[in-house]
Structure 1
Amino acid sequence: MRMYETIFITDPDLQDEVRNTLFDRFKGILEQEGGILANFDDWGNKKLAYEIAKKPRGHYVCMTYGGTGTLVTELERNFRLDDKILKYMTILLEKDIDPEALKLQIDAEAAAKSEADAAKAEADAARVEAEAKKAETDETDETVDAETPENEEEN
């Protein structure tokens, strides 16, 4: 099994539902051909270096996966046949990978990401709570200041 990275550019005017259906189709092809999806990164709409099909922008997607040459051939055949795909490019990252090691690596990265997300959510909650306490104490201080009579100077 080999490790590949495919970057493809879709029509930026596609609706999200159509785009997601397209992505699901490519993921399905990957699974049908026995590939292992390591990373699916949606980069979003970006300006193209030059116009492609009279479009100055494109929606970029990067897929990293393990598979065979037939998988790449099938994916690229589908890219060529679909008018929604403006450009694509596949590169070989590693010639020989262990599928089990790849699955373990993907699981470890997913676990690390979920832990990081949980830690971030906890930190955000603590920050919001601290801001709420600070706002509450500021309101209390303002109320006390308003109730305290100011010293009047007698002439």
Structure 2
Amino acid sequence: MASTAAAPVTRWAREYETIYILRPDISNDAAEKVVERAKDVIARLDGTLTKLDNWGKRKLAYPIQKNTRGIFVYLKYVGFNDLVAELERNLRLLDEVVRFQTVLLDEDVDPASVSVDPEEVEYLHVEEDEQAEDAELERARSLGMAPRAPRGAPTEAPQAPQPAAESAKPEAAGAAPAEAAGAAPAAPAEAAGAAPAAPAEAA
């Protein structure tokens, strides 16, 4: 009597995404160590990491542990129920991590059908120059500071009529000393073109 081999039973997995937030002041090396720890947990519990993305520093919706900004890291992976609990336990133990959240994306995923692109699971550092520029702009806005270029424009505007006032001074020799001394009545009289004012200065 021929015996039939039992078909292998598929253990269905689930697809999750986890986003965790790091303190904004940690170094790139420290941030990468957190990523490596998350990778180790996923691999140790027979999970598969399919996407890893460093979103860089972003403004938080509300302060967390007195931080208004944080480094956001995105993970997408396939695994089983015990994987999520162990990953979150490890993130909770790390001082560098200030917040994390996991969302279920799909159920009944066959782990054997999951493919991984090596470039999609590579941790890339965000350029420091872009972060510094963004942080500087955010700080300026939080302090209510206007950009420097618009602030300079009003100070240059009043300088335009000054050459016209200086060119009018040489027209009358007697008018220049009066203006230099700050005599207010002399300027209105000349501007109005009043004839009686000239004999008064001559005398």
Same fold per superposition (TM over 0.5):
yes
SS at match of 1:64: strand
Equivalent position of 1:79 in the other structure: 91
By relative contact order (CA 8 Å, sep 6+), the higher-ranking structure is 1
Partner of 2:31: 19
Q: Deviations over 1:7-59 (max 9, x none)?
A: 11011110001111111111111111111001001101000010000000000
For these two proteins, the number of residue pairs brought into alignment is 108
Structure 1 runs of 4+ with >2 Å offset:
none
- Written as runs of structure 1 = structure 2, the 5 A alignment for 1:4-153 is 4-103=16-115, 106-107=116-117
Gaps of at least 5 residues in structure 2 are 1-12, 121-203
Percent same amino acid at aligned positions? 40
How big is the shift at 1:110?
5.6
Answer with 1 or 2: which has the greater Rg.
2
Instruction: Give per-residue Cα distances to partners, 1:73-127, cap 9 Å, x unaligned.
Output: 0011111111111110001000111112212xx34x969xxxxxxxxxxxxxxxx
Choose between structure 1 and 2: higher strand proportion. 1
Q: What is the Cα-based RMSD across aligned positions, in Å?
A: 1.6
3-state DSSP class of the match of 1:76? Answer: helix
Question: Which one has a larger percent helix, Structure 1 or Structure 2?
Answer: 1
> What runs of 5+ residues in structure 1 fail to find an aligned partner?
112-155
- Give the whole-Å Cα distance in 2 for the aligned partners of 1:64 and 1:29: 13
Q: TM-score, normalised by structure 2?
A: 0.51
Find the aligned partners of 1:10 and 1:55 in 2 and give their Cα distance.
10
CA distance in 2, matches of 1:44, 1:110: 18
Secondary structure, in 3 states, of the residue corresponding to 1:96? Answer: strand
How far apart in 1 are the matches of 2:36 and 2:91? 13
